Amino acid sequence: MKPSEIIAADAEQRGLDPNAILSVIYKMVQEKNGKLMQSGNSVLFLEDIGEKNVALHLFTEDKPLALAKAVVVFMQQIRGMDLDAVYGNADNQQIIQLLTSVGVPVQQSDKPEYNWMAMV
């Protein structure tokens, strides 16, 4: 699947407007305030939030095992970037458990707008 198809399908499953999400992501990528990564049928959007930090937004159509493999790939790529920390808002505790199971040192966020963080 193309990244836009994965994002749209994931957004629809969450009851969100896929066109609005795709529009925001497109604009941020064009302005170099965001970056997309794809592995399998999972897409990770990295939103630049300043000070060598990014917020992560995961969109997926993968089954759990394929998603775990994609997360490993994403984290390997992120570790190769000039970043200090990654942040996120997990609306599903299983995401936190998945991150922890693949070796991501998830902790409580020091920024109130996110509920987890991990040092890179």
For residue range 11-39, list pLDDT tens digits in order: 999 999 999 999 999 999 999 999 999 99
Ramachandran class of 27: left when φ > 0, alpha when ψ lies in -120 to 50, beta otherwise: alpha
pLDDT of amino acid 91: 79
pLDDT value for 92 = 78
What is the domain-level CATH number for residue 69? 3.40.630.30
Domain encompassing residue 75:
3-119
What number of CA atoms fall less than 13 Å from residue 37's CA on the CB side?
18
What global pTM score does this model have? Answer: 0.94
Q: What number is the average pLDDT over the span 70-88?
A: 95
Overall domain count for the chain: 1
